[in-house]
A = this chain, B = another copy of it.
Amino acid sequence: MQKLRMGMIGGGPDAFIGAVHRIAARIDGLIELTAGCFSSNADKSKQMGSQLGLAASRCYATYQEMLTAEAALPGNERIHFVSIVTPNHVHFEPAKMAMEYGFHVVLDKPLCFSLQEAYELKNIIHKTQTVFCLTHTYTGYPMVKQAKQMVADGAFGRIRKVYVEYPQGWLSTALEQTEQKQASWRTDPTKSGKAGAMGDIGTHAFNLAEYVSGEQVTSICAQVNAVVPNRALDDDGAALLTFTNGVTGVLMATQIAAGEENNVKIRVYGEKGGLEWQQQDANTLQVKWLDAPAQIYRTGGGYNHAISNYNVRVPSGHPEGYLEAFANHYKNFSTVLLAKLQNDAAPAEAYDFPGIQEGVRGMQFIETIIKSGTSQEKWTKFVEE
């Protein structure tokens, strides 16, 4: 089997998410990290590449250099796709250039820096027929896929209510005033964009809500706060939501819930029952019924939908975690890309990974929730193209 060759943009020594992407890309043996531009500092980039076992010739000083050089390589050597893991303000340009040079793209969320960029990217993807994956991790979990399918199959009747939340505590203090690089760019409007927490984790919660419920948010009524003194961007927020088909909901996302880790959680209720999933117990899906005992669905259970078990690697009860959920996006992206390269179709299950549509809606969510946060109007219509 042919392995896909990946070039990475970003993910240098101080990064957190770059290493996650590399592991996720490695797990299933479908991808080989072949090239990279890991830092805006050329030496650091080379050093990182060497540490990762790359040939020196494939460690580049800038992404422009990498894309140009790789495009010039013979087809059986050059990378197939790039993985972009830089801060938000360095998403659009490298993604655009990569696509225009004929490379497929995996991009860390949120999609980009501004809504304008989002629309432009969408057009480029359309024009270039790029295979594109945006790494909203949580929809990669098998039990989240199971949840989506049960809702879609009508197991709960018409959906009525959605609660989604993402509580973190790590920005409870002014960490950005220390040397902490993660905190630093995430709280800087020139790097993050309009939103802090709403962009960083609010988009995850939003994406999860739309994915599982199968409904789309139509308006938002939000309270968005910068709780820690002197913080330039929001670190906390909550919103009332309306969705298509009369569904209503609540979204909560905060980075100042001191003592919380990353326990993103979703609950969806329909006429006959509901479901609950949370990352802290990621291999469990609680399914609740109006008139019967609740059920505990577990990763890998023989009773799960095919698409859920398609994303599982080990037998029931051996927990899979965050890296495997992340890896599922890489695996599905790779499967689709490999099929495309062979003018073939991938298994239907493989097409279920977040792409440009999810990316655009995420940017629209940021636009809408920040607008609502400062608006005196109760409901802000969800911004659409």
A residues adjacent to B (C-beta < 8 A): 1-3, 16, 19-20, 22-23, 26-29, 33, 50-53, 156, 160-161, 163, 165, 167-170, 172-173, 221-223, 225, 227, 236, 238-240, 242, 248, 250, 252, 254, 256-263, 267, 269-274, 279-283, 286-298, 301-303, 313-324, 375-378
Most chain B beta carbons < 10 A, residue from A252, A290, A295, A319 = A319
Bound CA–CA A248/B279 (angstroms): 25
Of the candidates B16, B248, B252, B271, which one forms a contact with A250 in the assembled complex, judged by CB atoms under 8 Å apart?
Answer: B252
Residues of B with C-beta under 8 A to A29:
22-23, 26, 33, 52-53
* Sample (16) of A-B pairs whose CB atoms are under 8 Å apart: A20-B313, A168-B317, A169-B288, A221-B223, A250-B250, A257-B274, A258-B288, A261-B315, A262-B317, A280-B319, A282-B319, A286-B296, A292-B303, A293-B295, A376-B377, A378-B378
Assembled-state Cα–Cα distance A148/B221 (Å): 30
Asked if B321 contacts A318 (CB within 8 A), the reply is yes
Closest CB in chain B relative to A83 CB, distance in Å:
14
Query: How many whole Å from A22's CB to the nearest CB in chain B?
Result: 7
Given A258-B271, A259-B288, residue A53 in contact with residue B317 (CB < 8 A): no
Give Cα A320 to B23, complex, Å. 12
Question: Taking CB as reference atom, which chain B residue is nearest A295?
Answer: B293
Pairwise interchain contact B323-A314, C-beta atoms closer than 8 A: yes
Contacts A29-B53, A163-B252: A19 and B271 contacting too (C-beta < 8 A)? no
**Cβ of A211 to closest chain B Cβ, rounded Å:** 18
The residue that A23 contacts in the complex, of B28, B33, B272, B281, with Cβ under 8 A, is B28
Q: Judge whether B261 and A317 touch: CB under 8 Å.
A: yes
Bound: A3/B322 CA distance, A: 25
Q: In the complex, are the beta carbons of B317 and A320 less than 8 A apart?
A: no
- A372–chain B nearest beta-carbon distance, Å: 9
Residue from the list B287, B318, B376 in contact with A279, Cβ < 8 A: B318
B160 touches A227 (CB 8 A): yes
By a CB distance below 8 angstroms, the chain B residues around A298 are 261, 293-294
Q: Please name all residues of chain B whose beta carbon is closer than 8 Å to the beta carbon of A321 when the two chains form the complex.
A: 283, 318-321, 323-324
Choose among B270, B294, B375 the residue that contacts A296 (Cβ–Cβ < 8 A).
Answer: B294
Q: Which B residues are CB-close (under 8 A) to A291?
A: 302-303
- Cβ of B257 and Cβ of A269 under 8 Å apart? yes
User: Which of B53, B256, B269, B290 is within 8 Å of A160, CB to CB?
Assistant: B256
